[in-house]
Amino acid sequence: MVRGKIEIKRIENLTSRQVTFSKRRKGLLKKAHELSVLCDAQVAAVVFSQKGKLYEYASSDMKKMMERCEIHRREYFHAERFQKEQQVQDLKNEITIMVNSIELLQRHCRRLMGQDLDSCSLEELKEITIQIEKSLTIVRSRKATLNEEEVRKLKAEIAGKRELLNERTRLHQMFEEKPLWTQSRNLESEKNASSSASENMHISNVETDLFIGLPRSRV
C-alpha cells in the first residue's frame, strides 16, 4: 500500500502532534545509530521536546563530542572572520596606494604648471623642463596640422567660388546678357510702339463718306 504524501506544517491537534513527535524522534535516533554503525562515523543527536525534555544519542561520549564540536565551531568562525578581516585590510591597502598615486599626480601637475617648485632638486627641474619641451613640440605639431587643414579648406572654398564666377561669365558671354537699364529702355520703346500702332488702327477704322450738297440739318 502506497503511503500518501504528508504536507510538512505544524500539526494543530495536540494528541496527533505528540504521537508524531514520539514516532519521528525514535526514527531519528535510530537513523543516527545506523549511520554511526554502517559508516563508522561519530554521530550525536540532541532533541528537545515542546515541554523542554531532552532526548539525545551519541555514538561515543556526548561531552567529548560537544567539546569537539565547540572547538570546530570556533576554528571555523575564526577562519571566516580572519578571511573577512584580511579582505578588509587588502581593500584598505589598495585605497592607500590609490590615494598616494593621486597625490603624486597632483603634485606633478602643479610642478608642470610652475607651482611648488621650491622643493624640487636640480635633476627634477631638468626632468620637468624636458617634459614641458616635449609637450610644446606635440602642441606645435598639432597646431601646424590644424593650420594646414584650415588653409586647405580656404583654398577649396576660393577655388569653388572662382569656378562659379567663371561659369557665370561663360553663361553671360553665351547669351550676350545686357544691362538692366538697356532692357527697361527697350521694353518702354516696345510699349510706346504698341500704343501708337493701336491708335493708328483705331483711326483707320473710322467710317468716312463723301457727300455733295447742302449739309443735312441735325435734329
Here the CATH number for the domain that contains residue 30 is 3.40.1810.10
Evaluate if pTM is beyond 0.75.
no
- If asked whether residues 129 and 145 sit together in one domain, one would say yes
| Domain contains 215 | no
* Chain segment 145-174, per-residue pLDDT in tens: 999 999 999 999 898 888 888 888 888 887
Does residue 2 form part of some domain?
no
Residue 170 lies in a domain: yes
Tell whether the torsion through CA atoms of 15, 20, 22 and 23 is positive or negative: positive
CB 43 within 8 A of CB 32: yes
Mean of the per-residue pLDDT values for the chain?
A: 80
Domain around 92: 61-119
Same domain assignment for residues 115 and 74:
yes
On whether both 66 and 111 belong to a single domain, the answer is yes
Residue 7 lies in a domain: no
pLDDT, average across residues 113-136: 85
Q: What is the total count of domains within the chain?
A: 3
Model confidence pLDDT, tens digit, residues 64-99: 888 888 888 888 787 777 788 888 888 999 999 999
Question: 76 and 95: one domain?
Answer: yes
CB 25 within 8 A of CB 47: yes
109 plus 152 within the same structural domain:
no
With a cut of 80, say whether residue 130 has pLDDT above it.
Answer: yes
**Same-domain check for residues 107 and 129:** no
Task: Confirm whether 208 is domain-assigned.
Answer: no
Flag whether 212 is in a domain.
no
Within-domain flag for 211: no
The answer on 125 and 105 residing in a single domain is: no
Residue 127, domain member (yes or no)? yes
Confidence of residue 204 (pLDDT cuts 50, 70, 90): very low
